[in-house]
Amino acid sequence: MLNLLKIEMKKMKLGWYVRGAVFANFIILGFLWMVTFTEGKDTFQKIDETFLVIGTFVRAVFIIFGAVLISKLIISEFKNKTILVMFTYPINRKKLLAAKLLIAAGLTFITILISNACVAAAFFLLNSIYGVIPGELTASMVSQQALKMIVFAFGAAGTSLVPIFFGMRKHSAAATIISSVVISMLISSTSPDFSISSIVYIPLSLAAVGLIFSFLAVRRIEKIDVF
């Protein structure tokens, strides 16, 4: 399995993903800072809220990135017919698909964690210079937020697998990515009074759905005909 993960990662060439992720981080940071700086103290009342908005943005973006990974790793193999070659290898089809899904979810999890930490760190660094958001960032606050980030990142990584269901139906990259955009929009709705994205059960439930869809896709793969 480990070897399979290595081959798949090598084949995919991760450079585009890393570059895309770094670029996305700058965009998220720039956008949030611009809004905060121009709107002033009206934007974020508290540090907690700031963390929430940063996390929501990062997860929304990287759930879509996750769908791009699924599309590149799995859907395109069907679309370009390279799956016809892959399935003639002495490799268990289930293992192969599971490895690809693991890469997509794993990368999404790691990227969300790193991005969340980086964007938050950069944001509060800027805030320490310009002092736009009131309040002080304490160590306990940071450790509490770090724990939240991990749980939410796990939820988001699982959620990023949901589009496999839509993508595999007609082997469509567009369906995969559009479904991820819709999911991202749904789980990221936020208003000053209430925010769906603050309810951890929603991404965790969606993660369960993503895992069920992945399990079904893996279970089915051994029996399907490929043309």
Partner 1 sequence: MTYIVQTSGLTKTFKGQEVVSNVSMHIRKGEIYGFLGPNGAGKTTVMKMLTSLVKPTSGEINILGHKLTNQSYEILGKIGSMIEYPIFYENLTANENLNLHCEYMGYHNKAKIQEVLDMVNLKNIDSKPVKTFSLGMKQRLGIARAILTKPDLLILDEPINGLDPIGIKEIRNLFQVLSKEYGMTLLISSHILNEVEQIADTIGVIRDGRLVEEVSMESVRGRNTEYIELVTPNQLRACFVLEHELQIANFKILNDKTIRIYDAEASQTAISKALILNDIEIESMNKKHTSLEDYFLSLINGNAASAQGGGDAC
Where on the chain is the footprint of partner 1 (CB under 8 A)? 7, 11, 80-82, 84-93, 222-227
Interior CA angle at 22 toward 16 and 24, to 5°? Answer: 95
Residues 6+ apart with CB under 8 A from 99: 1, 4, 5, 8
- Min dist CB 12 to partner 1, Å, is 10
- Min dist CB 9 to partner 1, Å, is 12
Structural contact between residues 63 and 115, judged by C-beta atoms closer than 8 angstroms:
no
> Which residue lies nearer to partner 1 by CB, 11 or 46?
11
Structural contact between residues 156 and 206, judged by C-beta atoms closer than 8 angstroms:
no
> Which residue lies nearer to partner 1 by CB, 97 or 132?
97
- Min dist CB 163 to partner 1, Å, is 23
> Which residue lies nearer to partner 1 by CB, 43 or 76?
76
Q: Return the SS3 of 195.
A: strand
- Min dist CB 225 to partner 1, Å, is 4
> Which residue lies nearer to partner 1 by CB, 6 or 169?
6
- Min dist CB 134 to partner 1, Å, is 52
The DSSP result for 76-127, as a single string, is HHHHTSTHHHHTTSSS-HHHHHHHHHHHHHHHHHHHHHHHHHHHHHHHHHHH
> Which residue lies nearer to partner 1 by CB, 89 or 201?
89
C-alpha distances in Å from residue 109, one per residue of 62, 113, 219? 9, 6, 23
Q: Which helix (H) or strand (E) holds 130?
A: helix 93-130
